[in-house]
Amino acid sequence: MSQPPLHLRGVLLDGTAEGEHVGELWVTTDGRVSLDPVPDAQTVADGAWILPGLVDAHCHVGIGADGPAELEEAREQGHTDAAAGALLLRDCGSPIDTRPLDDDPRMPEIVRAGRHLARPKRYIRGLPVDVEPDELPAAVAEQARANPWVKLVGDWIERGAGDLAPLWPEDVLRAAIDAAHAVGARVTAHVFGEDALPGLIGAGIDGIEHGTGLTDDTIAMMAERGTVLVPTMINLDNFPLFAEAAGDKFPRYGAHMRELHARAPRTIAAAIEAGVPVFAGTDAGGGVEHGRIVDEIAALADVGLGPARAVAAACGAARDWLRRPGLTDGAPADLIVVDDDPRADLDVLRRPSLVLRAGTALSWLRSARAAGARDQR
C-alpha cells in the first residue's frame, strides 16, 4: 500500500560501535530507504539519532507460558517486540508456523529456525521435533531446506545422571551440521552446561545459545572458529527458579544450575574479553516477556561489552551477522529515531520518538525534535 514519502535528518548511526555521520535519508512511498531526495517528502525527524531497527537475536514467537501458542497470541508477541524497537527477530525455535503473520505490517521481520530438534523426553514437552541420534542429520537437512537456521537442543537434564548431559554424539553432530551447511543454512544450539560444548563447537556449529557452561578451553575454541554466542542475559535470572523446580528429585541439577548462575557474569565477560562475537537475544517466549530487548542491551553493556558495543550487538552488527541490511539505499525502512545518542544513554532506546516498520509508523511520540520537524513541513 502506498504511503507518503518521509524525510529524516540527523545523526545516522549504522548500528555498529563506531559508525556514524550527520546526514539525511528519505523513505519512499513503498517503504524503502532512499539516500537520494524524494519529492514532497514530509520531514519527521530533524536533529535526532537515526538507527536501523533493533535485533532480538534469540526469541520465540509462538511459545506461550504453557507451551505452543495460538497464532493470535504469536501475533501479539511480535507486535510487542516491534513496538519496543525490535524490528528484526531471529526466532530460535517455534512449535507453530508463524509464516501467516508475515503479511501483517506491524510484525517484525522474522529469521526462522523452525522447531527445536531434541531426543525424546530430553526437552520441554510439546516444543521440539523428537528424533533419535541416527535420525538427526536427515532431520537437520529437512529443517535447513525450509529455514536459514536450525536449532538443536545441545544439553538437557538426563534422568539417569540427574543432571545436564549432552544429547548427541560428536560424529552425528558433524554429519548434521555439514548437512545444514551444504544447503546454506546455519546451526545453533541451546547449551546450559559444560559437557556438550566441545563436541558442538568442534563439529563446526555456528552459534551457542546461553553458554553458561563455557570454560577457558571452550571460549578459546569459539574465539578461534568465530563461533557466535547469544548469552540471553535476562533469561539467566531464571536459573534459580529452574533449580528450585528440580527440588529433591534432581539435586545435582539444582546445584549445577545455581553454580552456573553464580558464575555467569564472569563467564560471559571472559568470552567477550577473548573476542567471541556476542549478540543480544532476550529468549522471549515462555519464561521471558516479549519487548525487553533494551533490558538485554543494558545487561550486555554491564557484563563487559560497554554501551556502544552493546547497541551494535542489537543493531547494525547483528544485522550484518543475520545478513539483513541497515541504513542502505533500497533497504526496507525499518528505523528507530531517538532524541539523544543511545551510546551515551541506553535508556533513550526505551522512549523512541519514532519507530518505522517498512516505512509505516508503529509509534510516534511528540518529542521536542520530532515536533519541531513536523512543524516545519
What integer pLDDT is reported at residue 368 of this predicted model?
41
What is residue 19's predicted lDDT score, i.e. its pLDDT? Answer: 64
Q: What is the pLDDT of residue 14?
A: 78
Q: What is the pLDDT of residue 21?
A: 79
pLDDT at res. 270: 98
- Return the pLDDT at 367: 46
- Check: CB of residue 161 under 8 Å from CB of residue 202: no
Residue 373 confidence (pLDDT)? 53
> The pTM is what?
0.94
pLDDT in the model for residue 372: 52
Q: Provide the CATH number for the domain formed by 6-53+326-375 in this structure.
A: 2.30.40.10
Among the four given CATH numbers 3.20.20.140, 3.40.50.300, 3.20.20.60, 3.40.190.10, the one describing domain 54-320: 3.20.20.140
Question: Residue 175's pLDDT is what?
Answer: 98
> Consecutive sets of 10 residues in the chain, 377 residues long: mean pLDDT of each?
88 74 93 96 96 97 94 97 97 96 97 97 96 98 98 96 97 98 98 98 98 98 98 96 93 97 98 98 94 98 97 96 95 96 96 96 62 48
* Sequence ranges of the domains in the chain: 6-53+326-375, 54-320
Evaluate whether 6-53+326-375 and 54-320 have a shared fold: no
